[in-house]
Amino acid sequence: MHHAPGADRPACPFCAGAEAETPPETDADRDPATAPDTPGWRVRAVPNKYPVLAPEEGVHEVVVATPRHVTRAGELTHDEARRLAVVVGRRLRAAEDDPRDLWPFAFLNQGREAGASLAHLHAQVVGIPFDPPRLAHRAAAFADLPRCPVCADLAGAAAEGRVVLAAGPLVAWLPHAPAWSAGIRVAPRDHAPRWVDDPDPGALGPVLADLAGRVHRGLGREALNAWVNQGRAGRDGRYHWHADLVPRLGFLAGLELGSGALAGANDPAALAARLREQGGGDPARG
Q: What pLDDT digit, counting tens, does each position of 225-234 carry?
A: 999 999 999 8
Cβ burial of 14 (10 Å; 0-12, 13-18, 19+) is buried
CB atoms within 10 A of CB 65: 28
pLDDT surpassing 50 at residue 283: no
197 CB-near residues (< 8 Å, 6+ apart)? none
CA distances from 208 to 4, 85, 121, 211 (A): 30, 10, 13, 5
Indicate the helix (H) or strand (E) that contains 191. none
52: amino acid identity, one letter: V
Instruction: Give the pLDDT score at 281.
Output: 47
Q: What is the mean pLDDT of residues 114-139?
A: 95
Q: What is the pLDDT of residues 232-246, one digit of tens each?
A: 998 989 999 999 999
**260 band by pLDDT with thresholds 50, 70 and 90:** low
pLDDT surpassing 80 at residue 266: no
- Residue-wise burial string across 201-236, b where 16 or more C-beta atoms lie within 10 A, e elsewhere: bbbbbbbbbbbbbbbbbbbebbbbbbbbbbbbeeeb
Cα–Cα dist 36/52, whole Å: 25
Instruction: Give the pLDDT score at 264.
Output: 61
Better pLDDT: 176 or 51: 51
Identify whether the C-beta of residue 113 lies closer than 8 Å to the C-beta of residue 247: no
Identify whether the C-beta of residue 181 lies closer than 8 Å to the C-beta of residue 187: no
Instruction: Give the pLDDT score at 10.
Output: 60
User: φ and ψ at 211, to 5 degrees?
Assistant: -65, -40
pLDDT surpassing 80 at residue 8: no
240 CB-near residues (< 8 Å, 6+ apart)? 142, 148, 149, 150, 151, 187, 188, 191, 192, 193
Instruction: Give the pLDDT score at 115.
Output: 93
Q: What is the pLDDT of residues 29-41, one digit of tens each?
A: 999 999 999 999 9
CB atoms within 10 A of CB 97: 11
Region of 259 on the Ramachandran plot (φ > 0 left; ψ -120 to 50 alpha; else beta): alpha
**5 band by pLDDT with thresholds 50, 70 and 90:** very low
Closest CA to 170 of 142, 138, 202: 202
User: φ and ψ at 93, to 5 degrees?
Assistant: -60, -40
pLDDT surpassing 50 at residue 265: yes
Which segments of the chain does DSSP mark as H helices, in order? 78-96, 133-144, 149-160, 204-219, 254-259, 268-276
Q: What is the mean pLDDT of residues 14-19?
A: 97
CB atoms within 10 A of CB 43: 25
CATH topology of domain 19-250+260-276: HIT family, subunit A (3.30.428)
Q: What is the mean pLDDT of residues 82-98?
A: 97
Instruction: Give the pLDDT score at 6.
Output: 39
Q: What is the pLDDT of residues 164-219, one digit of tens each?
A: 999 999 999 999 877 777 899 999 999 999 999 999 999 999 999 999 999 999 99
Cβ burial of 79 (10 Å; 0-12, 13-18, 19+) is middle
